[in-house]
Every structure is written in C-alpha cells, then in structure tokens.
Amino acid sequence: MKKTAPVAKNECIDVLFEDLTHDGAGVAKVDGYPIFVPNGLPGEKAKIKVIKAGKGYGFGRLVQLYERSEHRIDIPVEEAHKYGGTQLQHISYEGQLHFKEKQVREVLARIGKLEDVKFHPIIGMEEPWHYRNKAQVPVGEKDGKLIAGFFKPRSHEIIDTNESLIQHPAVNEAIQTVKEICSELGIQPYDEAAHKGVLRHIMARYGRTTGELMVVLVTRTAELPQKNKIVDEIFSRLPHIKSIVHNINSKRTNVIVGEKTKVLWGNEVIYDYIGDIKFAISALSFYQVNPDQTKVLYDKALEYAGLTGEESVIDAYCGIGTISLFLAQKAKRVFGVEVVPEAIEDARRNADLNGMVNAEFAVGEAEAVIPEWYKKGNKADVLVVDPPRKGCDEALLNTIIEMKPKKVVYVSCNPATLARDLRILEDGGYKTLEVQPVDMFPQTTHVEVVTNLELKMSN
C-alpha cells in the first residue's frame, strides 16, 4: 500500500516545534512526519501552512505563534535586511549557543557513538556582532539604480543593503562608499541573466588588529571604466585605505572572483595578526573572517597538541598556514600540506614574515601526500587535521591509523562528518579525550569543534 503524507499542500495546521534542523529551521511532527518551518523555535506552539508535502517530510510557513520561546527575539521588518546570511537572527545569543552545543553533543552520540568523552561547554563571544573582517557583495540594478547587498534566500534576487550587523563597521563603510561612487559615476552593474554589464561584486577586507583596509572591484570586463576617478574618490572618502584592487571574472559562473588580479593603487596585501603571528592578506587569500575566535580555536588546538618542543607535527589541510604557524611556536618541526597552490605560497610567505624556519609546506591532496611522506619515513608525533565540510578522506584516516601518531587534533566545521571520522579513528585505536565547540560565526548555524585524540596504550 502506497504511503501518503498525513498533511496536504496548502493545509493550515496547529503544531508544536520540537527541534531545530542544522540550518536553523523549526521541526514539527504530525504522526511522526517531520515538517520543516523557517523561524520556528523548539517549545513554541504555532499555526503553520504546509508549502510542500513530500513522501518522507514536508515544508511549511509560520502563520501565527500561540506560545513563544523564551529565546525568541523580534526583529522589525525594516531591520531584517541588515541580517543577511544570518539564519539564527531571531534567537537570543544564549539560545544560539545552547542550540549549537546541543547539536554537537547529539551528533557525536548518534553518529560517533562516543561515550566517556569530556565535553566542554561551547565558547561564545562577548560581543557577537560586527565580527566579520570581510564582505563580498553582489552588484545589480533595480529601477535603474545600482544596488548591492545579499541574495534573497534560495534566489538570485539582490536585496539592497547599506549595513550588515555581523560585518565590522569599517567593512560596511567601505562597501557602501564604493557602491555610492560607482553609482555616481554611472558604472554599469552586471546582468547575470544576459551576462552583460561591468561590476559584478564589491569586496572589502579589514585588518582588525592593524586597521588596514583593502577594496576589491570584481568586473566582467577586462577594463574598469573610469578607474582613475574611482581610485581618486575611494582615496578621498576612505583616507585610511591601503589597497585598491581590480579582479577580472569574465566567465558565466557563480564563483565570485576570477583568476586575474591587478593592483590599481597601494599595496598588494594588507596585514593582520592572530595572536602574535602576522599574516599577509591578498585579494584572493583565504583568511579567517573572525580572527578573535580563530585565536580561541587555535589556542585550544595548540593546548590539545601538548607540544614540548621536541615533536614533529603534520598539519593536513593547512591552508595559508594559520594552524601550522601556531604549532611552529612550540614544535620542533611542522609540515603542512594543502591542495591549493596559492594558499601554499601564502603559507610560505607568512612563515618568512614571522621568521619561522621550522615550518615546511607542500602542495597536494593530504590523502595523497601524507601517505607518501609516511612511506619515506616522515612520521609525525602529532597530526592535526582541519578538513573541509566533507571531512577527512578515507585514505588519510587509514594512513593516520597506520602511522600511529601519539596525538591527533581534529578541527572541524561540520559536526556530522567529525562524528563519522572520530568513529573510524576510535575503531582504529584512538581514544577521543576532549571535545570543545567554539562559536566562530554568531547569528549563523555554523559551529566549529576542536577535538583531542590520543593513541591507546595497547596500540
């Protein structure tokens, strides 16, 4: 007998929200059938309208609240545009931290089957606003006027935005200023559908410690019209600017930046610090958008590594060398590997910038390079992984188990793949000792976790 959903499209029903999804939607159930509703919070009773009813689950829209959660925050409609990309904007910060910590605990228990683990309370921010040091906003046109802001969820419609409350004020000011200048000078915005026009994105990067500012204009065209006037106006209105850059992206693509970059004025890079370590940041560099919490995260990773100055450390997925250089402060030798060649160039430059001669970097996939190192006798006392959201490659996990470093420090941006990989490492002879969630991105659903593993003595 064919199973049918207990609700129908366009039906209005009363529900109790029981949980939140990983992307912040409320979860209600009708006869065990889950319905996902944006803006719903656990414990709330509400009327919803069913938007879609699939075989296994449905989607709904919040119509009326009967009982509110103590964590709910009301945001005026006219203010909502300021919160682009913030799925948890309607939850108090205390509630957000509770949700994220609960998510990590539950997924480690359900997927990782982890017991007897020391689980530390999540580390949040004292000020969970204005923390982002980088913005890249799409540019378009509405009613004959140049606009720039955020894409409306699940669409390519741009919501014109003058301010974001998670961006640093210097970043907001830079984006708004460049938008005004380009509008005044009649710079044609990019038309995605027709693949015509000039200006695709405006990017701003800010050194939180140094106060240095970079602006990047991304165009479809090889030339930036009136570039001298644009540069003069930017310098006039943002006198603390250090770098004005033109990036060319002529392809039909959702990728924001192209491969060709030229400096229009000032320096190729700006500088910033995480702790005592100095970083050079170019237009295309990967650099953590919340350096304050990055230091918290990496200090914890360094603590878990337990370095005495005698250890050889491998940093898989090393990026521009951020964790590697933190480790190099206490390790005898650090070897970093990263698949992106430009990131390795940045890592080497950052090592030189800080006078660190005990850090070496190689280009390649961690799952290919580290097994080769192991075959050649390059064994690690401590191995650190900070993989992308998909987690560690199986070949890398197998090499870790075979290599048997005394300690593994796993930094994760996805609790589900972390739990999966921890289970594999546990079955391979490791014990998960400590788990520390860190809120790197307040007002969003993302959470980082750093985990301390040790090789079992019997191994």
On whether the CB atoms of residues 43 and 20 are closer than 8 A, the answer is no
Long-range contacts of 349-355 (CB under 8 A, 24+ apart): 349/280, 350/277, 350/278, 350/279, 350/280, 350/320, 350/321, 350/325, 351/321, 351/324, 351/325, 353/278, 353/279, 353/280, 354/277, 354/278, 354/325
CA distance 416 to 232: 49
Q: How many Cβ atoms sit within 10 Å of the Cβ of residue 220?
A: 20
Read off the DSSP letter of residue 191: B
Phi, psi of 205 (to 5 degrees): -130, 140
Q: How large is the angle between the packed helices 415-427 and 93-110, nearest 10 degrees?
A: 30
Q: How many Cβ atoms sit within 10 Å of the Cβ of residue 252?
A: 8
Instruction: Answer yes or no: 413 catalytic.
Output: yes
Q: Please report which helix (H) or strand (E) contains residue 363, including its range.
A: strand 359-363
Spot the catalytic one: 182, 318, 392, 413. Answer: 413
Q: Identify the CA nearest to 112 among candidates 459, 458, 449.
A: 449
Give the three-state DSSP class for 211: coil
Region label for 169, one of left (φ > 0), alpha (ψ between -120 and 50) or beta (otherwise)? alpha
Residues annotated catalytic, as ranges: 413
